Amino acid sequence: MENRRADEVWKAALGELELQVTKPYYETYLRDTTGLKLDGKQFTIGVPNAFGVEWLRLRMRSRIEEVLSGLIRSAITAHFTVRQDDQGTTLVPSRGVPEYDVAEPDPDESPGQDIQAPCLNGKYTFGNLVVGQFNQMAHAAARSVAENPGQRYNPLFLYSGFGLGKTHLLQAIGHMALAARCEVLYVSAEQFTNDLVEAGRDRSYQQFREKYRSVDLLLVDDIQFISGKQQTQEGFYHTFNYLHNANKQIVMAGDCHPSQLPVMDPRLVSRFEGGLMADISPPCLENRVEILRAKAAQQEAHVPEDVLELIARQTSGSIRKLEGAINRVIVFAIAAGVDLTLAIAAEALATAPSDTNRNLTSDTIIERTATYFDLSSVDLKGKGRQKKLVMARDITIFLLREELRLSPMRIGALLGDRTPTGVAISCRKVAGRLTTNEVLRSDLSLIRDSIYSRASAI
């Protein structure tokens, strides 16, 4: 019973943590963790490997303890341990795109078949997708593509802000195409980049081409990741052309319209715009209630209608936020040992952490990055060209673009009237080094932690 409670509390905690950290860090360090034990004031978290244990202990412990304490309404100390399977084997997740255990596809999509898709999440199907005005066009296009790959809307480009269901639609297409016995490949743009870099290092371009050009359907998530990466864009351009000329279906998901992707090869933008572009907008109140109702049903939890409406009214924006909010309310009632009522839900939502993104400002990013490098904000805005100063300035520019989606012109104005071209070069420089520079990735992680800790205190 205690282990079950720990697992339920941790699922709710993950829902909140997913909103507080960047997607790559959530996928790498948090997604595969589990709540193992709640013993008094100590909460034990299972982690797949020793590296993850150390990373969470050093960089995420205080934030995790804050979230857990808020859920349980008591001061909690987090303890991390390497999780083992039933045979006592240490669990070590694969690198790159996470592999998921996939449930059998929906009956209406694959009657009588049992198809496994190692890179698709079993819960991301058309059968459990809530459809409303906010995603109606994207859903219709995705369904049409899944039923007739390569025949209509090729390529299909889905775009929206974070947490609105792009990945769900992308993978739902994959599930339906798999059920029709199509060869499907789902990757993140980061994984495509890593594969291309590895092919260059090992001189294994033939294997790379076989992997990406032998499929009927290529699904690429977070396509904005290739912005500024010239070699990756060149590789993707040739892969795209090969598949498109062979009438193979290509579907991509990104965080903005193709024309707004920063530092992107015009040839690629032209090809992206040559198909159908479908955006997903934030759901309205009615749609949010329906989404929450579906989330509650998936957990087999009884959530009164007035509670669903309260959560929907107080939680705007992404579907991910809605899921985190309903998880919090459900676990809050379980932890208190009471029925879920409107009053309990209101109390749970009132004690939820603030939305740090809403409080994040350009001044915070500039100030915290400068502090990390033992510089001043004036230094970053000045004309100095010392190595450390140039690096700090490039990272500041990159974070202003990535975290606040500011335009190059606006970023240039914030940092001493720099030109949009200079800003774009800095973004491209940092993005290009992230793939291979472990120190840079670590610096960015620590700076982001500092930035969001500051924003949450505002």
| 56-62 contacts, C-beta under 8 A, 24 or more apart | 56/29, 56/30, 56/80, 59/445, 59/446, 59/449, 60/17, 60/21, 60/29, 60/30
Q: Which domains does the chain have, with CATH numbers?
A: 1-93 (3.30.300.180), 126-279 (3.40.50.300), 357-456 (1.10.1750.10)
The predicted structure's pLDDT at residue 71: 83
The predicted structure's pLDDT at residue 3: 61
Report d(CA 50, CA 54) in Å as an integer. Answer: 6
Pairing of β 42-47 and β 249-254: unpaired
Element at 363 (helix H, strand E)? helix 362-372
The predicted structure's pLDDT at residue 4: 64
The predicted structure's pLDDT at residue 350: 78
Task: State the DSSP code for 110.
Answer: S
The predicted structure's pLDDT at residue 351: 67
Report d(CA 123, CA 114) in Å as an integer. Answer: 15
Q: Which of 275, 260, 280, 264 is CA-nearest to residue 156?
A: 275
Phi and psi angles of residue 265, each rounded to the nearest 5 degrees, phi first: -55, 125
What does the radius of gyration of the chain's CA atoms come to, in whole angstroms? Answer: 23
Task: State the DSSP code for 100.
Answer: -
Look up the pTM and report it: 0.59
* pLDDT means over runs of 10, the chain (458 residues): 73 81 74 88 90 82 87 88 59 34 35 46 86 89 92 91 87 91 91 89 87 94 88 94 95 88 88 91 86 86 90 80 86 83 86 58 90 89 90 92 81 89 87 74 75 57
Helix (H, G, I), strand (E, B) or coil at 265: coil
103-122 residues labelled b (16+ CB within 10 A) or e (exposed):
eebbeebbeeeebebebbbb
The token pair that represents 433 in the structure block? 């080094």
Q: In angstroms, how far apart are the furthest CA atoms of the chain?
A: 67
The predicted structure's pLDDT at residue 331: 84
**What does 10-61 look like in DSSP terms, one character per residue?**
HHHHHHHHHHHS-HHHIIIIITT-EEEEEETTEEEEEESSHHHHHHHHHHTH
